[in-house]
Amino acid sequence: MKIRTFAGFTRFIYNNGTVIDEFPSRLEITMGDRTFTAIPEDNPEYELRAKELGFATSLEMCKAHDKMHAGFADQLGLPYSPALLAASKGEPINELTGAEEAFILAFHKFVNLLIKEGLFRK
């Protein structure tokens, strides 16, 4: 992965071709010819999930979460994250995308607990 900083945003370029531009209030995610915007969901459940997983804000969770989807797909040698692609198309969760989502949420919780215990730094 390569990281480049520009005026107003940071670009994450993954080896599989996924590009994530991180702006202060959103992510712009490009996979192939598809670009979409990721912002936090505007509901109490999303805010609660962010707090339960150890994030200060839902925006912090949104940004870390989608970058983690992209990063794991890249590390596994996948051409894209199945869950991110499905979300970009508005598709319902299926067995594959649900499993990916559950894995990413569990990993967030694990890492944030390590940080809380002082065993890991961001």
Contact 21, 10 (CB under 8 A): yes
pTM of the predicted model as reported, rounded to 2 decimal places: 0.92
DSSP symbol at 32: T
Q: Closest by alpha carbon to 59, among 20, 101, 27?
A: 27
| pLDDT at 95 exceeding the cut of 90 | yes
Residue 49: the pLDDT is 92
Strands, E assignment, the chain: 2-6, 9-13, 19-23, 26-31, 34-38
User: Which strands form 2-6's sheet, in the order they lie side by side?
Assistant: 2-6, 9-13, 19-23, 26-31, 34-38
| pLDDT at 122 exceeding the cut of 80 | no
Burial class (CB in 10 A: 0-12, 13-18, 19+), 85: buried
Question: Which tens digit of pLDDT belongs to each residue from 71-92?
Answer: 999 999 999 999 999 999 999 9
Question: Which tens digit of pLDDT belongs to each residue from 11-68?
Answer: 999 999 999 999 999 999 999 999 999 999 999 999 999 999 889 999 999 999 999 9
Confidence of residue 121 (pLDDT cuts 50, 70, 90): confident
